[in-house]
Amino acid sequence: MDYDRGAATLSVLKADLAGRRASFEVTVKEVKLKQLPDVDDDFAIDAGFDDVAELREDIHARLLEVEQGTVEGEFRQAALDAAVAAATIEVTPELVSARAREMWERMLHSLSHRGITRETYLQIIGREEEDILSEMAPEAELALRREAVITAIVAAELLSPSEESVLEALAPTAEREGIEAATLLADLSTAGRLEEVREDLAARQAIDLVASSAKPIPLAQAQAREQLWTPEKASVETAGTGEESAPPARIWTPDR
């Protein structure tokens, strides 16, 4: 039994036994201890390095690359969301509801591969489906607004990925599948999925434009901004207290 299926079975058992008294007897037949090798020059040589110092340097570089990728992704997302917040977009409740339903069904489809049905999942979390859809509404609305901004940028900037950029984007997938990128491109075209790939790549290019126009600031400066008192924060703090909230304004500092 693989881990995912075992975890799903355990979750179902927890739901079935919820609120009941139960006792279990377990017989431990064997205990094993995994002995890890010493991290020394011999270990590094076996891993393909000259010595342990080179091994550590390689690990550090890989971890730094992953961290930089994470930071870059978060920055791109923050830049896009800033553009979304500044845009005027009309999103109807019907569209939000439909997108929330789509997100919900997609999640259920993913769970079904782990052997968890809709009914089982609802039983496990003890929630009603309509409540879940209501909670998904803000995320669904944000997704729709993001898509609207990206679509507008693609149209305004006439973004149309070249075949060379499409091949470059397909290269990692082609390498994993052990085929040439041109072959994968032809297969996608035959299957009628090439336009989907082009649209996705155009969306990435649109986000690249937004991110390139955004100016990052040092972490210390960002933290200092968060500590500043602003009328907007006061408005949030007084919301629901019956007190009159201050009108929207820019950052409020002692000198202005």
List, for residues 115-153, the tens digit of each pLDDT value.
989 998 888 888 899 999 999 999 999 999 999 999 999
- Is the domain of 102 the same as that of 131? yes
Q: What are the residues whose beta carbons fall under 8 Å from the beta carbon of 11, sequence distance 6 or more? A: 116, 124
Residues 66 and 96 in one domain: no
Domain count for the chain, please give it: 3
All residues at 6 or more sequence positions from 132 whose CB lies less than 8 Å from its CB, including other chains: 104
Report the Cα 15 to chain-centroid distance in Å.
Answer: 28
The answer for residues whose C-beta is within 8 angstroms of residue 189's C-beta and 6 or more apart is none
Low-confidence ranges of the chain (pLDDT < 50): 1-13, 15-16, 245-246, 248-256
| Within a domain: 168 | yes
Query: Based on the domain organization, do 186 and 171 belong to the same domain?
Result: yes
pLDDT at 19: 63
Domain assignment present for residue 254? The answer is no
Among residues 127, 149, 171, the one where a domain terminates is: 149
Domain shared by 141 and 192, yes or no: no
Residue 126, domain extent: 90-149
Q: Are 138 and 169 members of one domain? A: no
Asked if residue 95 belongs to a domain, the reply is: yes
* Model pLDDT, residue 17: 52
The answer as to whether 30 is a domain residue is no
pTM: predicted TM-score of the whole model, two decimal places? 0.65
Residue 26 lies in a domain: no
In a domain, 256, yes or no: no
59 belongs to a structural domain: yes
110 and 128 in one domain?
A: yes
Would you say residue 185 lies in a domain?
A: yes
